[in-house]
Structure 1
Amino acid sequence: MKEYLLMFGDTVFGFIALFVLVKALGKTQISSLTPFDFISAVILGELVGNALFEKESGIPEIAFLVALWGILLYITEITTQKYKGSRALLEGRPSIVIHKGLLMFDVLKQNRLDINELQHLLRSKDVFSVEEVEYAVLEVDGTISVLKKPDYQTPTNSDLNVSPTPVKIGRTIISDGEVVWDNLKEAKLTKTWLEEELHRQNVQSVEDVFYAEWQENQQKLFVTLYHNQQKKE
């Protein structure tokens, strides 16, 4: 029983320590995963895992490993920020796989990317034909950025001589049955207005609402109830 309690304590501490480490290092460790970030995550998980299951190791050892690895990653991040020459080595460089509509076979080969994988990446960008692409860049995190040929680009308001309308972000007003008061205040709405609007959409209580969003462009409240029951204007 004592061993299980020790393992429980070590696991909880390791979880908290890793969570704090990711928060301290920033979102880049979990969003754009470069090859170096992937290696870092694997090694850190291995270190903590070994520390958890070795009887001689405990919370002090886990704390030391997490702190040491965090310091090394922090030094690496500072190095890439201050010394541009180190970025290519530690983070990699983007590669142009399609240049002026032509497939760059040598670049694809260098990045171990075959044509089927390239087509998969293009489809993820809503491109279903290589012919549509003017430039395609393989990013360091394995994603692809695409610039279509002019004939295949979506026309903008300026192309159509249409006057643009102001873009306004939707605000979450209710989440999981609770009012997000800060967003309600920023939208210059009141509790009374919210209650009246919910009643107008036949919603009896805030607790019945799974998600509600104030769509400022359309001046309406989008409401979704629990159990996939939806109320619209």
Structure 2
Amino acid sequence: MELSLMDISLKVIFGFFLLFFITKILGKTTINQLTPFDFISAIVLSEFLGNGIYEERVSLLYIIYTVLLWGILMILMEKILLKYKGFRAFLEGNPSIIIRDGRIDRNQLKKNRMNINQLLSLLRQSEIFSVREVAFAILESNGSISVLKKSKYQKVTNKDLQLPEQPTYLSSTLIIDGEILEDNIKALGFNETWLSSQLATNGVNSSEEVLYADWINNDGIYIIPYHT
């Protein structure tokens, strides 16, 4: 028995609103912010719907059940990542510094299965056409690249103003969602006592009150409390 236009229409209409509903719940993540897991999940979800529409043996009820179940699993995963910060690095990956102090870190390139041509392509997409302009480049977990230029190549440069070149420092994240990043603090040569002192100086009693905080050597600490 062949599918009628009514059957196909019902499957498409219900599938459309199911995907719309799930997308609204998951939030406003853009394509550039998708992690590999998000990308694959979205493809699988669309395949469930696409294959079910023209399959005679798959009823509308099965499509609704399958899409809803997969959507619920995606939503649960998002909730887990929001609640349990320890899972984020495992499931989403960590950013990698692939250019440090103007030097390409070949070990990080190999670790991320990237070659020089791919790196140069990403830099060009960031309007950088020579590695000599880059002080730091960070490969994000979604595959995009974030670049901090050397001071003399920044838009309003010391070179243009005929000022002596200043060292460029990379910011170090100290607190995310109230959680202290101990490894970053130790890498700076500080400890939690120092961090508590910095927070107190800025009128913050505890790291649990902080949504985000970072440190730059030549600019000090920057704090965003949960309630501003």
- The interval holding the TM-score normalised by the smaller chain is 0.5 to 0.7
Counterparts of 2:136 and 2:10 in 1: how far apart (Å)?
A: 52
User: Alpha-carbon deviation of 1:150?
Assistant: 0.9
Distance 1:2 1:83 in 2: 46
1:53 shift after superposition = 2.3
**How much has 1:60 moved relative to structure 2?**
1.5
TM-score by length of 1: 0.63
Find the aligned partners of 1:21 and 1:103 in 2 and give their Cα distance.
41
Structure 1 residue 42: Cα displacement: 1.5
* SS of structure 2 residue aligned to 1:27: coil
Deviations 1:154-192 (A, max 9, x none): 228xx98xxxxxxxxxxxxxxxxxxxxxxxxxxxxxxxx
TM-score between both structures, scaled by the size of structure 2:
0.64
1:138 to 2:139 alignment: yes
For residues 122-165 of structure 1, give each alpha carbon's deviation from its aligned partner in whole angstroms, at most 9, with x where no partner exists.
11111100011000001111110000011111228xx98xxxxx
> How far apart are residue 2 of structure 1 and its match?
5.5
Q: What CA deviation, in whole Å up to 9, does each residue of 1:38-89 have, x standing for no partner? A: 1101211121122222212222112111211111111111111111111012
Segments of 5+ residues of structure 1 without an aligned counterpart are 161-233
Distance 1:29 1:63, change over 3 A: farther
Contact 2:32 2:144 in 1 (8 A): no
Unaligned runs of at least 5 residues, structure 2: 162-228
Are 1:43 and 2:48 counterparts?
Answer: no
Higher deviation after alignment, 29-38 or 145-154? 29-38
Distance across 2 between alignment mates of 1:116 and 1:147: 19
Displacement of 1:12: 2.2
Aligned to 1:116: 117
The Cα offsets for residues 84-120 of structure 1, whole Å up to 9 and x where unpaired, read as 1110121111111101111010111111111111111
Pairwise CA distance, 1:30: 4.0
Distance in 2 (CA, whole Å) between partners of 1:71 and 1:29 is 20
Question: Take 1:131 and 1:63, find their aligned partners in 2: how far apart are those partners?
Answer: 54
Mapped contact 1:137–1:144 kept (Cα < 8 A):
yes
Within the alignment, does 1:100 sit opposite 2:101 as a pair? Answer: yes
Q: Radius of gyration: which is bigger?
A: 1
In the alignment, residue 127 of structure 2 is paired with which amino acid?
D
| Whole-angstrom CA distance in 1 between matches of 2:145 and 2:66 | 35
Q: Runs of 4 or more off by more than 4 Å in structure 1?
A: none
The alignment's C-alpha RMSD in Å is: 1.9
